[in-house]
């Protein structure tokens, strides 16, 4: 007898067909956040759920209303809105898609670094606005990238992919902050592990790719930003709440740091009232680290593989967030 699965995101047709073949599939084509009651009703008899950008908190209260649920497959590497303790209590397996988005996300982060350093968008707008009427003067000069020091906060898969680009592509000196040493990165990229404050004081570019946890929530405060060089550039490709956004805005306004490139924000989509939109020394990107045709397809396929394996009572390995559920 087929199990019941709810799909709450649009995925490629061939991957949806795989779900339809394996399960009794229900499509929830509305927004869970704006219609939470309808979403929970759709999940009332579901054995599994699959989708991306979960805006609703999957906690004990939620799971008490979805008693048959045994597996959740998120089309993402992050799982901030899933309460792991509640999942364990209710025996719900959670899978994510960490490996398939590594290179695409690293590409985007390095794009932000390069475009922010060379002021690419700002200078492009100068031309579009008809303001390029003479040779560029020093107030529009950018910053070199090659040979500089990059400080990577979080030396996981994506951090290592960024270190590879920095070391081999731009002859950059790589330093990093991480809970544990990463000997493979140290050997391959001549990377050096330092304490957080030392990385912030030393690096010309700070790249944040840490997961959001209670320990990293607002990790980068006003005091931490003050440690950075006035010429330093900050790139955030992790989660918006790793940085105190108001402190960052103040640091950009006062030129405590030179500039920032941001793909993530405390509130998403970014409100039109955000002061970030008024600053020339910040480059904004709408949370698109994995947004390439190839990567998004690979993520959907991986997530489908995950839910099929989980509901067949197979044990996912590297994509299984909470193996303690069993």
- Give domain limits for the chain: 4-100+294-325, 143-284
268 is catalytic: yes
Equal fold, 4-100+294-325 vs 143-284: yes
Which residues, in sequence order, are CB contacts of 35 under 8 Å at separation 6+? none
Q: How confident is the prediction for the chain on average, in pLDDT?
A: 95
Catalytic choice (18, 90, 241, 287): 287
324 is catalytic: no
Rounded distance, CA 198 to CA 176, Å? 9
For residue 36, what pLDDT is reported?
86
Report pLDDT digits (tens) over 69-94. Answer: 999 999 998 898 899 999 999 999 99
For residue 165, what pLDDT is reported?
98
Confidence of residue 163 (pLDDT cuts 50, 70, 90): very high
Confidence of residue 11 (pLDDT cuts 50, 70, 90): very high
Residue 320 exposed, middle or buried by CB count within 10 Å (0-12, 13-18, 19+): middle
Among 51-60, 95-104, 206-215, 261-270, the least confident range: 51-60
Element spanning 48, H or E: strand 48-51
Rounded distance, CA 103 to CA 90, Å? 34
The H helix count followed by the E strand count for the chain is 13, 12
Whole-Å CA distances, 296 to 93, 167, 213, 274, 300: 22, 27, 25, 29, 6
Catalytic choice (239, 241, 245, 296): 239
Residue 5 has pLDDT above 70, yes or no: yes
Confidence of residue 317 (pLDDT cuts 50, 70, 90): low
Superfamily grouping for domain 4-100+294-325: NAD(P)-binding Rossmann-like Domain (3.40.50.720)
For residue 312, what pLDDT is reported?
86
> Could you tell me which residue, 321 or 53, shows the higher pLDDT?
321
Report pLDDT digits (tens) over 255-306. Answer: 999 999 999 999 999 999 999 999 999 999 999 999 999 999 999 999 999 9
314 is catalytic: no
Rounded distance, CA 11 to CA 140, Å? 43
For residue 33, what pLDDT is reported?
76
> For a pLDDT cut of 90, what percent of the chain falls above it?
89
Catalytic choice (223, 268, 294, 314): 268
Question: Which residue from 173, 175, 187, 172 is spatially nearest to 151, judged by alpha carbons?
Answer: 175
For residue 316, what pLDDT is reported?
61
Rounded distance, CA 20 to CA 2, Å? 10
Over residues 305-319, mean pLDDT: 83
Q: What's phi and psi for 173, nearest 5 deg?
A: -80, 125
pTM for the predicted model, two decimal places: 0.91
Q: How far is CA 215 from the centre of its chain?
A: 17
Report pLDDT digits (tens) over 102-143. Answer: 999 999 999 999 999 999 999 999 999 999 999 999 999 999
Rounded distance, CA 33 to CA 55, Å? 6
For the stretch 253-257, contacts whose Cβ atoms lie closer than 8 Å and that sit 24 or more positions apart, written own/partner, are 253/279, 255/230, 255/281, 256/225, 256/226, 256/228, 256/230, 257/225, 257/228, 257/229, 257/230, 257/232, 257/233
Residue 193 has pLDDT above 80, yes or no: yes
- Give the fold, CATH level 3, of 143-284: Rossmann fold (3.40.50)
Over residues 9-31, mean pLDDT: 95
Residue 54 has pLDDT above 80, yes or no: no
């Amino acid at each position: 007898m087929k199990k019941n699965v709810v799909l709450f995101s649009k995925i490629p047709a061939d991957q949806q067909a795989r779900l339809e073949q394996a399960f009794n599939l229900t499509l929830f084509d509305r927004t869970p956040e704006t219609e939470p009651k309808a979403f929970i009703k759709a999940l009332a008899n579901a054995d599994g759920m699959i989708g991306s950008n979960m805006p609703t908190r999957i906690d004990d209260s939620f799971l008490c209303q979805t008693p048959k649920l045994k597996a959740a497959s998120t089309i993402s590497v992050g799982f901030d809105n899933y309460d792991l303790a509640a999942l364990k209590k209710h025996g719900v397996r959670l899978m994510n898609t960490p490996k398939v988005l590594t290179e695409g996300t690293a590409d985007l982060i390095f794009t932000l670094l390069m475009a922010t350093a060379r002021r690419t968008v700002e200078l492009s707008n100068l031309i579009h606005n008809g303001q390029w009427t003479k040779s560029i003067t020093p107030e529009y000069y950018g910053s070199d990238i090659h040979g500089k020091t990059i400080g990577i906060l979080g030396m996981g898969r994506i951090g290592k992919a960024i270190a590879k680009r920095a070391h081999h592509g731009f002859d950059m000196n790589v330093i990093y902050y991480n809970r544990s040493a990463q000997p493979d990165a140290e050997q391959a990229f001549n990377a050096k592990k330092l304490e957080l404050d030392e990385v912030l004081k030393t690096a010309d570019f700070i790249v944040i790719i840490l997961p959001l946890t209670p320990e990293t929530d607002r990790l980068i405060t006003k005091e931490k930003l003050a440690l950075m060089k006035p010429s330093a550039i900050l790139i955030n490709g992790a989660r918006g709440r790793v940085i105190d956004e108001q402190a960052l805005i103040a640091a950009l306004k006062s030129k405590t740091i030179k500039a920032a490139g941001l793909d993530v924000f405390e509130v998403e989509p970014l409100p039109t009232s955000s002061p970030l939109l008024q600053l020339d020394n910040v480059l904004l990107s709408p949370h698109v680290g994995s947004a390439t045709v190839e990567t998004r397809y690979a993520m959907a396929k991986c997530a489908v593989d995950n839910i099929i394996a989980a509901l067949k009572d197979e044990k996912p390995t590297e994509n299984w967030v909470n193996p303690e559920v069993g």
